[in-house]
Structure 1
C-alpha cells in the first residue's frame, strides 16, 4: 500500500453505528438534565451543554433541533420511565389493594431515586416552555389515574379525590427530594404514607 492510499484511508469517515448514536444521545440528555436542574432552563445554552461534553455545539444539533426539543426529549424519556414502573405493578399477580400500595410506592421510589428526572418533569417552570412542560405531567397523571381507577373503580373515587391522592404523593416526593434522602432511608415512612392513602379509599 502506497503513501497516497494510506492518507486517503486516514481521512475516510466511518458511518456512525445506531448504537453509538443512541449512546451519544443519551449522554447529551443526561448532561443537559443536570444542567437544567442546576441552572434552570433559561440559564443553559446549547453551547454550554456542548462545552460540558467537550464537543462542538454542532454535535448537539446533530441530535436536537434546538434547546426546546432537547428538553422535550428529556421530559418524554423521563415520563416513559415512570410509566414503565407503573405498568410493572399493574402486571403483578397480586390483589388490587396490594397493587395500589405498590403503585404508590413505585411513584415515591421513582421520584426520590431519580430526583433530577423528577425535578425536570414536575418542578421546572418557565413561561417560554409552559405548553411543552404541561403535556408530559398531564399525560402521566392520566395514566396514573387510569391505573388507580381500574383497581378500585370510578364509582369509588371522584376526580377531586383522585387529584388529592396524586398531590399527596407529589408533595411527599418533593419534600424528600429537598431533603436529599435516599429511598432506602425513607422506605419505612413511605410505606406508612402509602398505607395511609389507601385508608382514604373505600375498596
Structure 2
C-alpha cells in the first residue's frame, strides 16, 4: 500500500514538473496592435490622404524607412524605429539599449479603414545594424539567460514593445479622429448656410 501511494506521488510530481517546464518554454505570442475602424459615409480618398499626411508629417518613431504608398489600392506601409532598454547582466552595469524596428500598415476597407502595428524586429548588435532578429525569438533568448531571474529582461522588452505598439496606434487614431470627414460625392466641407 505504501509503495502504491509513493508511486502515485512520484508520478504526480513528475507530471506537474513536466507541465511547469512546458509552460516555461512556450513560444511568445507576436506583439501586434490591429484595429478596423468603421467610418460612416466616408470618402476613401480622403481617408487615404489623411493617413498619408500622418505618415509623412506626424509619424512619431523616426527614422522611418521602406515607405510605400499605393494610391490605387489606398494602402500605406512603412518601417518605424524605436529603442528598448534592458538591465545589464551585472547588477552595477549600465542599462543596455537595442534598436527596435516595426511595421505600420494602413488600408481602406468597405466600412472605413484598418491599420496594424507589428512585425517587431530587434538589432542585437549595434555594430551590425542590418542584422535583425524577430522580437519573439529575442525575448525567448532573454528568458533563457542565466541572469534573467534578476533582470527580467524578457518581461521588460515585452512591455516596452507593447507600449510602442499602443503609442503608435493611439497617435494614429487620434490624428485620424481629428480630421474632417468628407462624405462620398462631396467636394469639400459644407460652408455656412449649407446643410
Coarse TM-score class (shorter-chain normalised): under 0.3
TM-score scaled to structure 1, two decimals? 0.24
Greater fraction strand? 2
Greater fraction helix? 1
* Bigger radius of gyration among the two: 2
